[in-house]
Amino acid sequence: MRPMTMLEMNHVTFGYKRSVNVLEDFSLSLESGAVYGLLGKNGTGKSTLLYLLSGLLRAQQGSVFFKGKDVRRRLPETLGDLFLLPEELVLPNVTLKQYAKMYAPFYPYFSYEQFFRLLAELDIDDAAKLHSFSMGQRKKAYICFAIATNVSLLLLDEPTNGLDIPSKSQFRKLIASNMTDERTIIISTHQVRDLDSLLDHLLIIDGKHLLLNDSITHITERLCFDELRSGEQMDEPIVSTPSLGGYRVISRNTSGRETVIDLETFFNAVLDNREQIINALKD
């Protein structure tokens, strides 16, 4: 069965100042059942895009529809079915149990059982005050709450900031194990290595525009990602960048090989060699 269209953004223009647009004539269509990685340099509009998708910001031009409803109307059925986890967390001085009691009623599909189970998996004390937590603990607790809302649209803005290496691994497992065909997850990040194995689809923005909108499956069907030792050669690579002890190489996949995407190298290649990469993906 074909996935349903979850989000439609049509010709959106938005700027915080009238003379400077962050996004310009920006269009995007996203389906259910996928984890999208939203990549871009700092200051290129990733957070702005998430806030527009959630209805917290209103476009000067264009429209955004979530499940066929205009997000600018901020209808209860829309707000109860999407959740935005911001990069900066300002949380009340209450326990996690109290926090859940305060905010869970806004989400019709919230699961207390799931929330407390996720907290236990991450060894977080649900009776402790949020203000006593470190930044990483607060982030993990809020991620648990976000997942337990069981909303159709989950927007995560730099969710791995403040997490140590084991916690980043836990984050990936939480997202993967709580993904469903009815849910869409968009993860905005500049820490691309944190998400290599998690994403189904890539969105790359730069400046005011969408540079790339493609699935990981299609990218790896068209391109090969290899690491060569110093002295090794490869015919006609599209991109070759130095790495420790050799080179990271992107080349056309002419033999049907299966390789794992090197997200950091690919992201930089799209920024620096966009025309060559796009042409290779089209061939």
Q: What is the pLDDT of residues 64-120, one digit of tens each?
A: 999 999 999 999 999 999 999 998 887 888 999 999 999 999 999 999 999 999 999
Q: Does residue 246 share a domain with residue 122?
A: no
Q: Does residue 179 share a domain with residue 54?
A: yes
Q: What is the pLDDT of residues 110-146, one digit of tens each?
A: 999 999 999 999 999 989 888 888 888 989 999 999 9
Q: Does residue 242 share a domain with residue 169?
A: no
Q: Does residue 203 share a domain with residue 157?
A: yes
Q: Does residue 142 share a domain with residue 235?
A: no
Which residue, of 180, 207, 234, is where some domain finishes? 207
Domain total of the chain? 2
Distance CA(96)–CA(88), nearest Å, equals 18
In-domain check, residue 101: yes
Shortest CA distance to 140 belongs to which of 151, 153, 124? 124
Structure tokens of 88? 């900066």
Q: Does residue 256 share a domain with residue 128?
A: no
- Domain range enclosing 124: 5-207
C-alpha pair distances (Å), 224 with each of 181, 213, 249 = 28, 18, 8
In-domain check, residue 135: yes
In-domain check, residue 212: no
Q: Does residue 238 share a domain with residue 165?
A: no
Q: Does residue 227 share a domain with residue 186?
A: no
Distance of CA 18 to the CA centre of its chain: 28
The predicted structure's pLDDT at residue 237? 86
Q: Does residue 247 share a domain with residue 145?
A: no
Instruction: Say which CATH number the domain at 14 has.
Output: 3.40.50.300
Q: Does residue 228 share a domain with residue 90?
A: no
Tell me 24's DSSP state.
E
Q: What is the pTM of this model?
A: 0.93
Which residue, of 207, 227, 261, is where some domain finishes? 207
**β-strands 61-66, 69-70 pairing:** antiparallel
Q: Does residue 186 share a domain with residue 82?
A: yes
